[in-house]
A and B are shown apart, each in its own frame.
Chain A
Amino acid sequence: MAKVLLFGPLRDLAGWRERDVEDATSISGLRARLAEEDERLGEALSAPGVQVALDQAIVRGDRPIGVHNEVAFLPPMSGG
């Protein structure tokens, strides 16, 4: 189980901002798990330009995750 956070358009698409997700032991597994529930969200999470932060640090590629991890999906950013 990991805490999952969605931002920007991903949050609108999914209809939730924060959730605990069971049965995922890696970031790729987590994506697959979420895609099973919601195909469009699954595609959006894998889109180019979507970065992943694991415990508030950007990671590239796959990583193992566990109970105490926080995984955030970050679509293209725009401030100012």
Chain B
Amino acid sequence: MIIVSEAPFDPGALLSEFSSGRTEVGAVATFTGIARAECGEASILELEAYPGFTEAEIGRIAEDARRRFELDDLLVRHRIGRIAPGETIVFVATAAKHRRAAFEACDYLMDYLKSRAPFWKKEHGPAGARWVEPRAADHADIARWDKETSR
């Protein structure tokens, strides 16, 4: 399931709901992304999406992950709008028969979300506002998966 919304969420509650009632899934892995204060440099993070397109693009990569890692299920929940330090921005959960696939799929989905999913992120702080672009490390992270085509 893919949800892009302004509504805050509780990662614990999402995990409980995602894990419940599964009897053939041996592994659930999750990632929770939290807005950083950057030692006072960032007071608010503003996230923008392209409604419809953003969900569809994440859906495409989610299908790719589902096939690639033989997932049973996955959940991507991403906030947009204004987010304060300490609030959750993103939650990804993956369910697979075994742990390796669940871990790797979660990692893959996050690498994709950081640098290729249609979101735009503006950091507001005491020194003004700036648009945040992916760092070189983010590009290197997603490029790891492009090489691994022989899975």
B-contacting residues of A (Cβ < 8 Å)? Answer: 5, 7-9, 11-12, 53, 56, 72, 74-80
What are 17 A-B residue pairs whose CB atoms fall within 8 Å in the complex?
A8-B131, A53-B53, A56-B52, A72-B50, A72-B53, A75-B120, A76-B134, A77-B118, A77-B134, A78-B114, A78-B121, A79-B90, A79-B113, A79-B114, A79-B117, A80-B90, A80-B119
A-contacting residues of B (Cβ < 8 Å)? Answer: 33, 47-48, 50, 52-53, 56, 78, 89-90, 110, 113-122, 131-134, 138
**Residue contact A79 to B133, C-beta cutoff 8 Å:** no
Q: How far is the CB of B58 from chain A (nearest CB, A)?
A: 9
Residues of chain A with a CB closer than 8 A to B56's CB: 56
**Residue contact B50 to A74, C-beta cutoff 8 Å:** yes
Of the candidates A5, A72, A76, A79, the one having the most CB atoms from chain B within 10 angstroms of its own CB is: A79
Determine the distance from Cα of A9 to Cα of B90 in the docked complex, in whole angstroms. 22
Residues of chain A with a CB closer than 8 A to B116's CB: 77
| Known A56-B56, A80-B110: A9·B131 in contact at CB below 8 Å | yes
Residues of chain B with a CB closer than 8 A to A12's CB: 131
5 further interface pairs, Cβ-Cβ under 8 Å (given A56-B56, A79-B90, A80-B113): A11-B48, A56-B50, A77-B115, A78-B138, A79-B47
Determine the distance from Cα of A7 to Cα of B122 in the docked complex, in whole angstroms. 11
Determine the distance from Cα of A77 to Cα of B53 in the docked complex, in whole angstroms. 13
Determine the distance from Cα of A75 to Cα of B50 in the docked complex, in whole angstroms. 12
Q: How far is the CB of B51 from chain A (nearest CB, A)?
A: 10
**Residue contact A53 to B50, C-beta cutoff 8 Å:** yes
Determine the distance from Cα of A53 to Cα of B118 in the docked complex, in whole angstroms. 11
Q: How far is the CB of A62 from chain B (nearest CB, A)?
A: 20
**Residue contact A5 to B113, C-beta cutoff 8 Å:** no
| The one of B52, B53, B110, B134 that contacts A78, using a Cβ cutoff of 8 Å | B134
